[in-house]
Amino acid sequence: MALNSLRANVATRPHPLVREIGLVLAFKLVALFFLYTFFFGPSHRVDVTPDGVHAAVFGPHTTSPADPLTRPGG
């Protein structure tokens, strides 16, 4: 009789590694949440506009007479 109850107890109790891995995964999820909140959240984002992207990629819009594309006859 005691053997049957011992087997039932072992069968319903999870392996010790299952609990440890679950705790580590839960801790990592909480850590990722805090990292996202404190470093990558919406309050830390830069406003991106099409004009800002254009200025960053192509530089300020200036024309120079020395530029062969804007020189007459060039």
Residue span of the structural domain in which 23 resides: 2-58
In this structure, is residue 71 part of a structural domain?
no
- Cα–Cα distance, 14 to 6 (Å, whole number): 14
Tokens 């109850």 locate to 5
Structurally, the chain folds into a number of domains equal to: 1
The pLDDT tens digits of the residues spanning 57-69 come to: 988 766 555 655 6
In this structure, is residue 68 part of a structural domain?
no
In this structure, is residue 74 part of a structural domain?
no
In this structure, is residue 63 part of a structural domain?
no
The pLDDT tens digits of the residues spanning 16-74 come to: 899 999 999 999 999 999 999 999 888 888 888 998 888 889 887 665 556 556 555 54
Q: Which two tokens stand for residue 27?
A: 């801790």
User: What is the pTM assigned to this prediction?
Assistant: 0.48
